[in-house]
Structure 1
Amino acid sequence: MSRAPLRLDEPTLARAVRVLARAEPRFAHIVKRHGSPPLWPREPGFQTLVLLMLEQQVSLAQGRAMYERIANATGTPTPANVARLGESGLRALGVTRQKSSYLAALAVQVEDKTVDLAALATLSDVDADAALDALRGVGPWTAQCYLLFALRRADVFPAADLALLEAVRDLWKLRARPSPDALAWRSRSWRPHRAVAARLLWHHYLSERGRS
């Protein structure tokens, strides 16, 4: 098993931004126009994974609103509290049938220690991604964003993210959004700083829309 990579922090983020800006004029343009991107850290653990699962395939605002409903109903959305709420309780709050099933099952697994989210920090990117993908309801976007935001891995890139696809379309003056496969291929040139490249692209996307 390979060793877990170091976590991104503010100094390593700043260094990677400088490297990418020197290598790619479009990244330099983002920094000149909007400044360096935020680290956007999230706390590792159950609550962040729940939020990401809720954000999957909907807008971030919709996912956050649903998370707040769960938080209000449980006091704190710990594994024990969400497990007590159960699938029916989640559905009563407006969570879809499928996501309610996934979240209720995850809560039970984390509470009874069948799933150890803390152990992900000790795994390589590949192994941590595989462990997350093995969980019901955790797709590639959710797994990659957990690695990127919660574990702060430096070389993870969620190529299917719509905001990243749109940012690349805009910056590279493409007639249409690239496919996720095409963006994944393009991102190879940004290794080993792909998570920082993603932050730059999100920074552009949000700043151009006045939402950063």
Structure 2
Amino acid sequence: MSLRKVKNHLKKDIILEKLIASTDMLKLPKSGNVFNELVKAIVYQQISYKAADSIYSRFIELFDSEKYMPAELSKQKFEDLRSAGLSNQKANYVKNIALFFEEHQLINCDWERLSDEEIIDLLTRIKGVGTWTVHMILIFQLCRPDVFPDKDLAIQIVMKKLYRINSEKRQLLVDMNKIAHNWSPYRSFASLYLWSWRRDNN
């Protein structure tokens, strides 16, 4: 994928053109470690980054390696997960992920063979895993170039401000997607620029 081509395409949007001019070229990271990162995403949800770091560090200490397997998580006692700092709900959710990966033999899944939509459909079958979480996996673990996380709060805040969108709730998503349609097939990169602007102007 040509990053120059990505940049030239996104610069057709006058707002993104300004962001691109003031930001170094952003690249999509890729680890492909879907299972561990999916669990980590659950741990980090809805709490401060500092608190999540502390909890995740204690959580990892339950295993021999940061790249633990689904079977290892499945065997963990619920009480130990709670002692690491996970809420009842999150402890159940990470257990759900482990069991799902075991039952469907996903640890060695060839994710490249699946479309974005197929991955979203598959992983959101897990109780506790929503579309936003899978969008993060698609962007930051599988390096998918055309994902638009319209339910991400930071993306919503930035687009409302920069694109002067006054709508809310469902209409907000409609308006955002109408704008983002022109960014395709590089909506993931556009999202990186919006997150970068939010971080620098928070």
Structure 1: 5+ residue stretches without partners: 1-10
CA 59–195 in structure 1, closer or farther in 2 if over 3 Å, else same: farther
Are 2:25 and 1:36 equivalent residues in the alignment?
yes
Describe how 1:29-178 pairs up with structure 2 within 5 A.
29-77=18-66, 78=68, 79-110=70-101, 112-117=102-107, 118-174=109-165
Q: Which residue of 2 aligns with 1:5?
A: none
Letter in 1 for 2:58: R
* TM-score between the two structures when normalised by the length of structure 2: 0.84
Q: Compared with structure 1, are the counterparts of its residues 169 and 177 closer, same or farther at alpha carbon in structure 2 (3 Å cutoff)?
A: farther
Choose 42-51 or 98-107, whichever is displaced more: 42-51
Give the 3-state SS of the residue equivalent to 1:158 in structure 2: coil
Q: Secondary structure at the match of 2:21?
A: helix
SS where residue 74 of structure 1 aligns? coil
- Does residue 197 of structure 2 align to residue 197 of structure 1? no
1:184 aligns with 177
Matched to 2:156, the amino acid is L
Q: Distance in 2 between matches of 1:43 and 1:148?
A: 10
Task: Provide the aligned length of Structure 1 versus Structure 2.
Answer: 197
Residues 62, 15 of structure 1: alpha-carbon distance in 2 compared, 3 angstrom cutoff: farther
* Residues 123/60 of structure 1: CA separation in 2 closer, same or farther (3 Å cut): farther
How far the C-alpha of 1:201 sits from its partner, in A, is 0.8
In 1, distance between residues paired with 2:20 and 2:61? 38
* Cα deviation digits, residues 61-99 of structure 1 (max 9, x gap): 544443222112323241233223233221121111111
Specify the SS of the correspondent of 1:50: helix
SS in 1 for 2:62: helix
Give, in whole Å, the separation in 1 of the partners of 2:53 and 2:182.
Answer: 33
Give the partner amino acid of 1:168. M
1:13/1:54 CA distance change after superposition, 3 Å: farther
Matched AA of 1:16 = V
Displacement of 1:101: 0.6
CA distance change for structure 1 residues 174 and 126 in 2, over 3 Å: closer, same or farther? Answer: closer
TM-score, normalised to structure 1, is 0.80
What is the root-mean-square deviation in Å for CA atoms of aligned residues? 2.4
Contact preservation (8 Å) 1:88, 1:100: no
